Chains A and B, each alone.
Chain A
Amino acid sequence: MTDLSAPAREPGTPAPRRGADPVKALLHRHRELCETAVDPLEIAAGLEAHGVTDRTAARFRHRDVFSLAEELYARANHHTDAPPAAPPAPAPRTTWAVLTLLPGLLCLATLVALRHTGGQTRLLTAAAGALAVHLSLRAALRRGPLSGPRCPGTALPVCWLVAHALLGEGLLRAALSGGPDTPPTGADWPLTAATLAALALACAPAAWTTHLFRTRTHRRLTASRALEDFATSVRPLLLGTVALQLLAVAALTLLTATLLDEAPALGTTLTLGALLHLSRLLTVHGFTHAPRVILTATALTQAAALAAVFAARLPGLAALATPVETLVTEGTPAALPALTCGAAACVLLLHAARRLTRASAHAHAEARR
């Protein structure tokens, strides 16, 4: 195609640097734009941003920029590159790595301090320790992989569940034998402090397993082509994450039991640890409803069991205590929290296996990245 519209030049002036096909040069100049464009209008917008007007298009023997863009679109060889490299998943940060260690260490320190104090000082130590653990726990849940949307209405059930793990076993035993006659310090109402310490320490592995789950899902998400593929590849990942966390909690329970010189309450700690971990995992991914319901239901069940034991002392209501009494005499006092928390954890695991394998559950996390 020769440029016939060029004005007649005076002899002697050098010919302009233009080949037989002016569009080819333009195509070369805007090659990237033309090859990645998905429709001619995108090329037209890009050309206009580079200062191409209808009068420029007229030099290429086109009516306007749109028809020029159409020719460019038709002539460019569109290649679909490999998908752009996914942004790397966030690397672990020292901030949250340290923060998640704090509640466990503070809790352990408080428990050790309680062993060596007495009277008024002991009460003050306990109060200061509880406050410190509470604050550090809040800080740990604010940032890092454990941070999530606010989930009002879960704090109370969680407090109850933890308190029950700490005091419940002794209280139940004392209640069944007609007590309790003393505050929770003496021999007939022992505290299972190792459980509390293990749960507080479990914050750190929970953060790491959640981080691992998130980075792995991110990788699976970028690699999968269909939603079904994604779901099937995430399911074992979820189970692995929960198993890893359970292993960590078990190890921590044995460790704290040895440190504090108590019998390890594996059943209570493992089930409660799993329940709390799963509910946090769901909350982090934006599902706040199910954890709230399940945690509240579990706490209510435990409260009802205790209340039934005390209510059985009223005349004529002795039958109320029978189920709990059977459970304790047949098994151990730890069977009640282990059973309730275990059942709740199973329900949440099933729920998580359905919800967290959906791609849309991870869309929010992707968008924030």
Chain B
Amino acid sequence: MLVRIGLLTEGGYPYVSGDARLWCDRLVRGLGQHEFDVYAFSRSQAEEDEGWVPLPPQVSRVRTAPLWTSEDDGVVYGRRARRRFTEHYAELAAALCTADPAPAGTRSDAGTAEAPGVPHQADRFANALYGLAELAREEGGLAAALRSEAAVRALECACRAPGAQRPAREARVPDLLTVAAHLERALRPLTLDWYEENGLGAVDLCHAASGGTAALPGLLARHFFGVPLLVTEYGVRLRRHYLTRPDSSPAVRSLLAAFHGRLAAEIYRQAAFVTPGNTHARRWQERCGADRTKLRTVYPGMDAAPFAEVGESQASADPHTLVWVGRVEPAKDLVSLLHAFAEIRKQEPGTRLRIVGGPAGPEGEAYLGHCRMLAAQLFPDEAEGPHAVGDNPVSFEEIGGPELPTPADAYAAGAVTVLSSVVEGFPVRLVEAMLCGRATVSTDVGAVVEVIGGTGLVVPPRNPRALAEACVSLLRDPERRERLGAAARARALELFTVEQNIAAFHGLYLETVARTPVRRLPLDRTGVPRPFASPAEAHVPGHWTDPAPRPVPRWAAPEQVPVTEAAR
């Protein structure tokens, strides 16, 4: 069955320099039987200038919009439209300023804890958002209105209203301006002309490649046309927002955090499926109010082909060499690795350590210099005999040289691969090592434990002695190395290949479409409806565990106890 998928990306896929380009490209190429419409936001002029990657024929249409600039359509609101805008914007601002009565994560009883007559904050936020979107779709001119004084004034009113949170109450005029400008940027997707019958209304499902801004068009398509939404998040947008927040005042941070939090909650609420890239992302999504039944962890896929040759044979591995591969930066904690290696050398004097990878940015450059110096201090150069030229047991190399042309060669050079990071997201290097069939020793950070799953050794971070002991035990036991390496390769081939990633999304697409009511009859070329072209709907409106009243015989109904009785 052919599904038309609207792929929503932000600073990603069709652009050459995009973040998630590789993943989306593999997905689109892997699902040649479906049709893709790509709706992409660009992040900068430079990104637009660099152009697109070559697109396969299944991409039938690409529409782009810049997020870094906004075009005024010259529409000036009349009195009625202005009042409508002010109403919705004030509602949005009020939803941001007021404390959420049900804190995230404890939403299960949120509906019952609510005082009657006060709409839930999430509903308030969603209504205001859709109100603004409807206004933009009917009248246009939202970009200018979001920048207008009316918007700033509405924000001020909301901040000064009773019940506003403390940081919001203390907002000053520059804070209000900053928040208004940020909201204008964040709501730019509302002003686009994508929400038409032959635009996003024509796709069968929307797949947002990240949360936040990219998922906003999907949210609106769902609101206007009932198109189901699938959201993939490899890194949770809300968390990234917290980490990249500018050093602004508490008022700005509190209001923007509220906006991003409410937006994420609304996206999770409306999405048919949410696919986190690992358990860490999944925990954040649950925390932000995502329903557990909608979550499906889909691990990022890696191309296993370059590592196949190394993975099949153990011949080239030097049994006395440890390898570290990655980009050199302080978060990788190479200092701790070097100290651990000093410990290893005490017990296994012939061991060598190869550190493979270039520095990341100027900070990484300084860190690499520091590590080189430390290595030179800890380990004197040594030679085989009195007449040979000496060499340091720790070598710093880069991939792409004559000795190590590809990453696979780097992993192949050592018997054990070490990972010493203190901070890590999804450990791509660890998966590569697993695909190469190498025994690994890694620190317990990020998604490492989840990825390795017992096919390698894991030690606490910032613990050189534990790291050294684990390495020595592996160096002394070739059989165990081989066993762990084979298990790791089998696990990686099972879980982290491109094929499993594509198959998972293919299944999710079909499941999503199957659960959605058919919006228009599939016609054949002559305009006659085709029977059985769309699957029977397996969709029950509402949630089956909802505490909604169900027909119950009178004798089985719980006895109504008057409130006054209970109070006595």
Which A residues have a C-beta under 8 Å from some C-beta of B?
Answer: 36, 38-39, 41-42, 45-46, 48-51, 53, 55, 64, 66, 80, 83-84, 86, 221-222, 224-227, 229-230, 358-363, 366-367
Contacts and interface: CB of A to CB of B under 8 A. Distances in A.
Interface in B121-178: 147-149, 151-153, 156, 166-167, 170, 172-174, 176-178
B247 interface: yes
A363 to B, nearest CB: 4
Given A83-B172, A86-B174, 16 more contacts: A38-B167, A39-B254, A41-B104, A42-B245, A45-B239, A80-B166, A80-B167, A221-B174, A221-B177, A222-B173, A359-B152, A359-B177, A360-B148, A363-B147, A363-B152, A366-B178
B174 A222 contact: yes
A51 B461 contact: yes
A363 B172 contact: no
B166 to A, nearest CB: 8
Nearest to A360: B149
Taking chain A's interface residues, is the majority helix, strand, or loop, or is none over half, making it mixed?
A: helix
A62 B181 CA distance: 39
Contact of B177 (A36, A83, A84, A360): A360
Contact of A366 (B170, B174, B250, B287): B174
B156 A226 contact: yes
B261 interface: yes
A49 B421 CA distance: 12
B459 to A, nearest CB: 12
A51 B422 contact: yes
B395 interface: no
A29 to B, nearest CB: 13
B180 interface: yes
A363 B238 contact: no
B52 interface: no
28 contacts: A38-B167, A38-B253, A42-B242, A42-B257, A49-B243, A49-B423, A50-B423, A51-B423, A51-B445, A51-B461, A53-B445, A55-B444, A64-B283, A80-B167, A80-B250, A84-B248, A221-B177, A222-B173, A224-B172, A225-B173, A227-B153, A229-B173, A359-B152, A359-B173, A360-B151, A360-B152, A363-B147, A366-B174
B406 interface: no
Nearest to B424: A51
Nearest to A49: B243
Contacts of B173: 221-222, 224-227, 229-230, 359
B249 interface: yes
A225 B172 contact: yes
Contacts of A64: 283
Interface string B35-66: 00000000000000000000000000000000
Contacts of B380: none
B105 A66 contact: yes
Contact of B254 (A38, A48, A49, A53): A38
For the complex of A and B, the 3 pairs showing the least CB-CB separation, nearest first, are A45-B242, A38-B254, A51-B422
Contacts of A36: 250
Given A221-B173, A366-B177, A367-B181, A41 B257 contact: yes
Given A39-B254, A66-B287, A80 B172 contact: no
Given A53-B445, A359-B173, A39 B180 contact: no
Contacts of A51: 422-423, 445, 461-462
A227 B176 contact: yes
A42 B256 CA distance: 12
Contact of B257 (A38, A50, A224): A38
A363 B149 CA distance: 10
B438 to A, nearest CB: 24
A225 B156 CA distance: 10
Given A53-B445, A225-B173, A227-B156, A83 B257 contact: no
A51 B421 CA distance: 9
A358 B248 CA distance: 22
Interface string B426-466: 00000000000000000011100000000000000110000
Contacts of B166: 80
Contacts of B254: 38-39
B242 A227 contact: no
B250 A363 contact: no
A36 B174 CA distance: 19
Contacts of A53: 444-446
Nearest to A228: B156
A6 B66 CA distance: 54
Contacts of B283: 64, 66
Contacts of B243: 45-46, 49
Nearest to B425: A48
A179 B295 CA distance: 88
A48 B236 CA distance: 13
Nearest to A40: B103
Contacts of B423: 48-51
Nearest to A79: B250
Contact of B172 (A38, A50, A66, A222): A222
Contact of A363 (B177, B253, B461): B177
Contact of B180 (A80, A84, A363): A363
Interface in B345-385: none
Contacts of B239: 41, 45, 48
A88 to B, nearest CB: 14
Contacts of B249: 83-84
A38 B226 CA distance: 36
Contacts of A222: 172-174
A55 B280 CA distance: 13
Nearest to A64: B283
A296 B446 CA distance: 65
For B104, B156, B172, B253, which residue has the most chain A Cβ atoms within 10 angstroms? B172
A50 B242 CA distance: 14
A222 B250 CA distance: 15
Contacts of A362: 177
B415 to A, nearest CB: 28
Contacts of A359: 149, 152, 173, 176-177
Nearest to B165: A38
A361 B148 CA distance: 8
A160 B295 CA distance: 68
B43 to A, nearest CB: 17
A226 B254 CA distance: 19
A196 to B, nearest CB: 36
A42 B248 CA distance: 14
B91 to A, nearest CB: 19
A338 B276 CA distance: 70
Nearest to A227: B156
A340 B445 CA distance: 75
B108 to A, nearest CB: 16
Contacts of A225: 172-173
A226 B176 CA distance: 10
